[in-house]
Amino acid sequence: MQNRRETLKQSLAVAGLLGATGLFPQHAFAFNRAAFEAKSVADAVKAYGGGAPVESKDVTLTAPDIAENGAVVPMAVASTLPNLKHLLVMVEKNPNSLVAKFDVSDAVEANFSTRAKMGQTSDVYAVAITKDNKAFFTKKEVKVTLGGCGG
Q: How far apart are CA 28 and CA 18, in angstroms?
A: 12
pLDDT for residue 16: 60
Percentage of the chain lying above the pLDDT 70 cut:
77
pTM value is 0.76
User: What stretches of the chain show up as alpha helix (H) in DSSP?
Assistant: 4-21, 33-36, 41-47
Number of C-alpha atoms within 13 angstroms, CB side, residue 25?
4
Question: What is the rounded distance in angstroms from the CA atom of residue 119 to the CA atom of residue 91?
Answer: 10
Domains and CATH numbers, the chain: 1-30 (no CATH), 32-144 (2.60.40.2470)
What pLDDT tens digit does each residue of the chain (151 aa) get? 567 767 766 766 666 655 555 554 444 445 788 888 888 888 999 999 999 999 999 999 999 999 988 899 999 999 999 999 999 999 999 888 899 999 998 888 999 999 999 989 999 999 999 999 999 999 999 999 875 565 4
